[in-house]
A and B are shown apart, each in its own frame.
Chain A
Amino acid sequence: MVVRDIEPVVLDLDRLEQMAKSDYYNPYTAFDWPEAIEADRPWMSESLTTLAGTEMWDELTRDQQLALTRYEAINFFSLNIHGIRELLSEVVMRIHERAYAGVSEFLHHFIGEENEHMWLFAEFCLRYDGKLYPAQPRLAAGSMDHLSPPARELVVFARVLIFEEIVDHYNAYMATDETLPRIAREINRVHHQDESRHVAFGRMMFTGLLEQVARRDPAEIPVIAEYLEDYLQYSIATLYNPAAYRDAGIPDALNLRRRALEHPARRAAHDQVLKRTRRFLNRSGVSVGGSAA
């Protein structure tokens, strides 16, 4: 692939590169995987499940509640795997493009770390549940074809950033949730640590590419903002997987999913998850909806 018509992206990444080196660990040997993990503990924090705060949660039996935390943990890790895989492939294509020569050192760290994250999440899912949830269907058709080259590049890196920030909200909370089995907590903790570097990098990339878009054609910014708002909503909705409800023995999964997505308590929870990202985008001049302003 050739990225044309964008100026070289120049960022000061010395500190992040140093941290990537000094924080490096071998994920294949760093964890002590127990044979099995306790079924009487939540695998995902109860307050982070998709029914938390609603009467739909209260109506479940305790066994269903615990099962839901297990299958939503598997769904969360599966989403990570598929999300990373898709975004990583975009980054791999760009690593030695001329425009990205100044950031390719960090991109090497990024790619290596994301590959390891995929392994880590898949290992958890396969060991303890014997499966991943399949990726959601996607349309390959490029809905960005009408944008200029820098705007398209901005969208690619913005999607990486948004995805990472949303995931990080969950990781940061679960990293210290003592109700979780130790291995689940550990995975969330190390991922949170690595992602803090990725998020810092992603925000710098976003700002750099946005400047190029603004110089070239500021009229594209509202179009990008609209797409990113949709992407925020889309990302939240992927957490609500009817297959996880079915696996947890909860009937009428699609109807439940629809009701949960619209529930006021859930809307407030979504605002919490997206707050930091919305604030960043709005302050950058990309106005996304902000009930969480």
Chain B
Amino acid sequence: MTTEAMRSVQEFILGRNPKLDRLDGDFDLIDSRAINSLAFVEFIFLLEELAGEPIDPEDLDLDDFRTLNAIEARFFTQKAA
């Protein structure tokens, strides 16, 4: 499930950034503008759907979204416990 979800996350980002051909786990998605302000809302909805948990728009920590590694750790791992 985790791998599949992370693949969807990657597809979303690569699909919107034709100039990128791969994404490293520590690549900064926000500073690089791979996810810009206009794509951010869609990205949040995608993560909510994949993780099956709501994300409160008024209580976001940007660092949870900054890299693929951070996203995986925040949304797709610790809940296994």
Same complex:
yes
Residues of A within 8 A of B (CB): 134-141, 143, 230-231, 233-234, 237-238, 242, 254-255, 257-258
- Check if B24 is an interface residue, CB within 8 A of chain A: no
- Check if B11 is an interface residue, CB within 8 A of chain A: no
CB distance from B57 to the nearest CB of A (A): 4
Closest to B33 in A: A143
Q: What are 21 sample pairs from A and B whose C-beta atoms fall under 8 A apart?
A: A136-B41, A136-B57, A138-B37, A139-B37, A139-B40, A141-B30, A141-B31, A141-B37, A143-B33, A143-B37, A233-B38, A234-B38, A234-B39, A237-B41, A238-B41, A242-B45, A254-B45, A254-B49, A255-B49, A257-B45, A258-B49
Q: Which B residues lie within 8 Å of A135 (CB)?
A: 57
CB distance from B42 to the nearest CB of A (A): 7
Residue in A137, A139, A143, A237 whose CB lies within 8 Å of B57:
A137
Q: Mark B10-32, 1 if CB is under 8 A from A, else 0.
A: 00000000000000000000110
Bound: A188/B44 CA distance, A = 31
Residue in A137, A143, A242 whose CB lies within 8 Å of B60:
A137
B36–A143 touching, CB < 8 Å: yes
Residues of B within 8 A of A (CB): 30-31, 33, 35-42, 44-45, 48-49, 57-58, 60, 62
Say what secondary structure dominates the interface of chain B.
helix
Bound: A126/B42 CA distance, A = 27
CB distance from B75 to the nearest CB of A (A): 14
A137–B44 touching, CB < 8 Å: yes
Bound: A140/B42 CA distance, A = 16
Bound: A246/B44 CA distance, A = 17
Closest to A246 in B: B54
Q: Which A residues lie within 8 Å of B40 (CB)?
A: 137-139
CB distance from A56 to the nearest CB of B (A): 17
Residue in A134, A231, A242, A258 whose CB lies within 8 Å of B38:
A231
Q: Nearest 8 pairs between A and B by C-beta?
A: A234-B38, A254-B49, A139-B37, A137-B57, A143-B36, A136-B41, A230-B38, A139-B40
CB distance from B38 to the nearest CB of A (A): 4
Bound: A266/B62 CA distance, A = 32
Q: Which B residues lie within 8 Å of A134 (CB)?
A: 57-58
CB distance from B80 to the nearest CB of A (A): 22
CB distance from A42 to the nearest CB of B (A): 26
A137–B30 touching, CB < 8 Å: no
Bound: A228/B16 CA distance, A = 15
A254–B48 touching, CB < 8 Å: yes
CB distance from A81 to the nearest CB of B (A): 15
Q: Which B residues lie within 8 Å of A137 (CB)?
A: 40-41, 44, 57, 60
Bound: A233/B38 CA distance, A = 9
Closest to A252 in B: B49
Bound: A244/B62 CA distance, A = 25
Closest to B50 in A: A254
Closest to B37 in A: A139
Closest to A255 in B: B49
Q: Which A residues lie within 8 Å of B44 (CB)?
A: 137
A237–B37 touching, CB < 8 Å: no
Q: Which B residues lie within 8 Å of A143 (CB)?
A: 33, 36-38
